[in-house]
Amino acid sequence: MSDTRIDRRFAALQAANRPALVTFVTAGDPDLATSQAILDALPAAGADVIELGMPFSDPMAEGMPVQLANQRALAAGQTMDKTLDMVRAFRRHDQDTPIVLMGYYNPIYVRDPAVFVKMAVEAGVDGLIIVDIPPEADDELCLPAMAAGLNFIRLTTPTTDDKRLPAVLANTSGFVYYVSVTGITGATIANRDRVTEAVRRIKRHTSLPVAVGFGVKTAEDAEVIGRDADGVVVGSVLVEAVRTSLGGEGRATDATVEAVASVVRSLAEGVARARG
Amino acid sequence: MTIQQNTFRSGPDERGHFGIFGGRYVAETLMPLILDLEQAYKDAKADPAFQAEIDNLNTHYTGRPSPLYFAERLTAELGGAKIYFKRDELNHTGSHKINNCLGQILLARRMGKTRIIAETGAGQHGVATATVCARFGLPCVVYMGATDVERQKPNVFRMKLLGAEIVPVTAGAGTLKDAMNEALRDWVTNVADTYYLIGTAAGPHPYPEMVRDFQSVIGTETREQILQAEGRLPDALVAAVGGGSNAIGLFHPFLDDPQVAIYGVEAGGKGLEGEEHCASLNAGKPGVLHGNRTYLLQDDDGQILEGHSISAGLDYPGIGPEHSWLRDTGRVTYVPATDNEAMEAFQLLTRVEGIIPALEPAHALAQVMKLAPTMYKDQIIVMNLCGRGDKDVFTVGKLLGFDL
């Protein structure tokens, strides 16, 4: 069993009987400097694990908030190199908070998965979540990433039944990301009981922590989901906080970083109450 | 890889690959559905009643076989090889798209699905999908880029008449790629009851294989018809490629006949030197999008580029994975035709043969116009005339300066 930043962070939270707050923001949204400031502000606001979105032109699994965040980042000139630079800059002052890069396969494929994995490790990345590469294609990216010491975090969904679950979990490490709804990011969780049931079902198949995402919007959601899940993932509400803070011509304002941080603080309070 | 060395017709392998292309690159939510679909399609293929039902509908609903027509005046005009058209524009709904839609709607019914979604570019696939949904009494939602909704108004109205709901997609440039993203988002949200009826030979396995199989009726008929007409196989086949479904349908039954040269014609837009074209095989590079690995128009950072074509049906930055493989193996030659060349071809065919083609096959015709004069008079070209031009008269009218 490897010992990564992600493993250590979940172990520490488990010892403290508290679920992790996993925060997603899109790299380069709304511009590189502001995005770096948001990233740097996340741990102090209460983020335990950070998912940093790698912008893509065709984010098929995203709802409108994250789609728009991707468009803002690309319009501002974000590239993979700049995203890795952000992680590098973050690592200069934070050696403990895990960063997981999340996105789509093509921007990785075009620069060669082996080269990308090496660059990510070197920049201080801890794990990958790649939406559109299923376990059937593990040899392309998952196995090289794990060999290089990265965690490969897999999405499981309501359609991943008990028969398929072992195959999905086989090469998963770090934590399991349970997608609480069949749908896109930013959807609404219709039935929290069913999420609880699903988390318990996954835990029968793995000893990895299980984080729940897609549809967590409020501190109350975070509190309720956090009772059973080892982590609560929030993304769409954070990129919406970016969007609503923007000024004329979609430019960042003095309020942008604080807008995101204050939502994270409120969610962190919800998470802290989960096992209270 | 289990593709045999001595044939071009045995793909894909069990994981849906044609060489390095194809595969199943989708979100986990969709994986179980795609595996189900693959099994359902295997079962259907093995059931003679399924094929019999398709054959029956092809004959009595679509009007197959479509004629193979010797274009005598065009042949004389170009002064070289004999030119035949496979008249798939005479099908019910006006294009080859119905071939695939009938096959897939029967499969959706076998699977017990009660709601159909589709993406469309020019609207031909949307119309064909709305048509089979009306025929079988299933609700139909069609995603269409907002730009395409604007430039293909007649088809939008036809779909509405047929009872489909049209959802204009404003993301990106509002063309086919964006419509496909939105259809995938719908599918991932409505997994229990919804069948995604993909219109081209692309997407995650088994779609490229399945669409090819349903479209191969084009090539199978052509083979019989040309043998009857000429007593031999053609020297060249020509078809337009957007996603590539009409082309693979014509080509596939001929892939193992080395004496038949095969040409796929991409949308060259305003020329390959700039970015305003959709020639993914000539100017793109391999990547992963919409569930498959294939040639894509993309920048150095892996961001997908917006293509451009006068023809909404060719306006897609990717291509079916089997075409990517046929390109790399050299079996098929892919060439571009520009907007202007297609416009010229459109007008020539209309004047000389009294056939108004869609702008998509007009691209194929542009290649025929280059090819035929270089060939001997006893040589034979078969071109797939895969759609009729009624839907394009407004676009063409505007370009020619007519106020319609």
Question: A157-178 pLDDT, tens per residue?
Answer: 999 999 999 999 999 999 999 9
**In this complex, which of B31, B32, B287 lies closest to A110 when CB atoms are compared?**
B287
Cβ pair B287:A109 closer than 8 A? yes
Q: How far is B25 from chain A (nearest CA, A)?
A: 5
- Kindly list the residues from chain B whose CB atom is less than 8 angstroms away from the CB atom of residue A154: 28
- Chain pair A-B, CB pairs under 8 angstroms: 111
Q: How far is A269 from chain B (nearest CA, A)?
A: 30
Please give the distance of CA A255 from its chain centroid, rounded to a whole number.
23
- In 3D, which of B337, B317, B209 has the Cα closest to residue B264? B337
- Kindly list the residues from chain B whose CB atom is less than 8 angstroms away from the CB atom of residue A61: 27, 29, 185, 188
- Chain A residue whose CA is closest to B294: A106
pLDDT at A147 over 60: yes
A17: left (phi over 0), alpha (psi -120 to 50) or beta: left
Going residue by residue through chain B, which has 404 residues, state the pLDDT in tens, using 9 for 90 and above. 555 568 999 999 999 999 999 999 999 999 999 999 999 999 999 999 999 999 999 999 999 999 999 999 999 999 999 999 999 999 999 999 999 999 999 999 999 999 999 999 889 999 999 999 999 999 999 999 998 898 888 899 999 999 999 999 988 778 889 999 999 999 999 999 999 999 999 999 999 999 999 999 999 999 999 999 999 999 999 999 999 999 999 999 999 999 999 999 999 999 999 889 999 999 999 999 999 999 999 999 999 998 888 988 888 899 999 999 999 999 999 999 999 999 999 999 999 999 999 999 999 999 999 999 999 999 999 999 999 998 889 889 999 999 77
A114 HSE (CA, 13 A, CB side): 1
Q: How far is A272 from chain B (nearest CA, A)?
A: 30
Q: How far is A30 from chain B (nearest CA, A)?
A: 18
And the tokens for B307? 């293509």
Q: What is the pLDDT at residue B308? A: 87
Q: How far is B326 from chain A (nearest CA, A)?
A: 21
**In this complex, which of A61, A106, A134 lies closest to B287 when CB atoms are compared?**
A106
B7 interface with A at CB cutoff 8 Å? no
Q: What is the pLDDT at residue B307? A: 84
Q: What is the pLDDT at residue B395? A: 87
Sorting pLDDT into bands at 50, 70 and 90, what band is A215? confident
Cβ pair B303:A179 closer than 8 A? no
Q: What is the pLDDT at residue B26? A: 96
The strands making up B261-269's β-sheet, listed across from edge to edge, are: B68-70, B82-86, B380-384, B236-240, B261-269, B333-338
Cβ pair A159:B31 closer than 8 A? yes
Best interface-test mutation with B: which of A101, A159, A163 has the largest number of B CBs within 10 A? A159
**In this complex, which of A105, A160, A161 lies closest to B25 when CB atoms are compared?**
A105
- In 3D, which of B191, B181, B148, B184 has the Cα closest to residue B166? B148
Single-letter amino acid code for the residue at A223:
E
- Kindly list the residues from chain B whose CB atom is less than 8 angstroms away from the CB atom of residue A57: 172, 303-304
And the tokens for A82? 């700049």
Q: Which helix (H) or strand (E) holds A164?
A: none
**In this complex, which of A110, A134, A182 lies closest to B26 when CB atoms are compared?**
A134
- Kindly list the residues from chain B whose CB atom is less than 8 angstroms away from the CB atom of residue A183: 29, 188-189
Cis peptide before B206 (omega within 30 of 0): yes
Q: What is the pLDDT at residue A189? A: 78
Q: Which helix (H) or strand (E) holds A74?
A: helix A64-75
Mean pLDDT for chain A overall:
95
B297 interface with A at CB cutoff 8 Å? no
Cβ pair B27:A63 closer than 8 A? no
Angle at B254 between CA B249 and CA B258, to 5 degrees: 145
Q: What is the pLDDT at residue A55? A: 98
Rounded-to-integer distance, Cα A74 and Cα A76, Å: 5
Q: What is the pLDDT at residue B121? A: 86
Spatial contact of A106 and B288, defined as CB atoms under 8 Å apart: yes
- Kindly list the residues from chain B whose CB atom is less than 8 angstroms away from the CB atom of residue A108: 302
Rounded-to-integer distance, Cα A242 and Cα B208, Å: 40
Cβ pair A159:B29 closer than 8 A? yes
**In this complex, which of B188, B301, B302 lies closest to A183 when CB atoms are compared?**
B188
Q: What is the pLDDT at residue B345? A: 98
Cβ pair A60:B300 closer than 8 A? no
Spatial contact of B115 and B193, defined as CB atoms under 8 Å apart: yes
Q: What is the pLDDT at residue B315? A: 84
Cβ pair A155:B28 closer than 8 A? yes
> pTM for this structure?
0.96
Q: What is the pLDDT at residue A2? A: 61
Q: How far is A202 from chain B (nearest CA, A)?
A: 15
Q: How far is B203 from chain A (nearest CA, A)?
A: 12
**In this complex, which of B15, B181, B286 lies closest to A58 when CB atoms are compared?**
B181
Output phi, psi for B208, to 5 deg: -60, -40
A172 interface with B at CB cutoff 8 Å? no
Q: What is the pLDDT at residue B5? A: 61
Cβ pair B28:A157 closer than 8 A? yes
The strands making up B291-296's β-sheet, listed across from edge to edge, are: B17-18, B21-25, B291-296, B285-289
Query: What is the ipTM for the molecules in this complex?
Result: 0.95
- In 3D, which of A33, A36, A14 has the Cα closest to residue A25? A36
A126: CB partners within 8 A, 6+ apart: A4, A5, A6, A98, A99, A100, A150, A151, A174
Mean pLDDT along residues A206-218: 94
A164 interface with B at CB cutoff 8 Å? yes
- Residues shown for chain B: 404
Interface of B with A in 101-160 (CB under 8 A): none
- Kindly list the residues from chain B whose CB atom is less than 8 angstroms away from the CB atom of residue A107: 301-303
- Chain B residue whose CA is closest to A63: B185
- Chain B residue whose CA is closest to A62: B185
Q: How far is B128 from chain A (nearest CA, A)?
A: 25
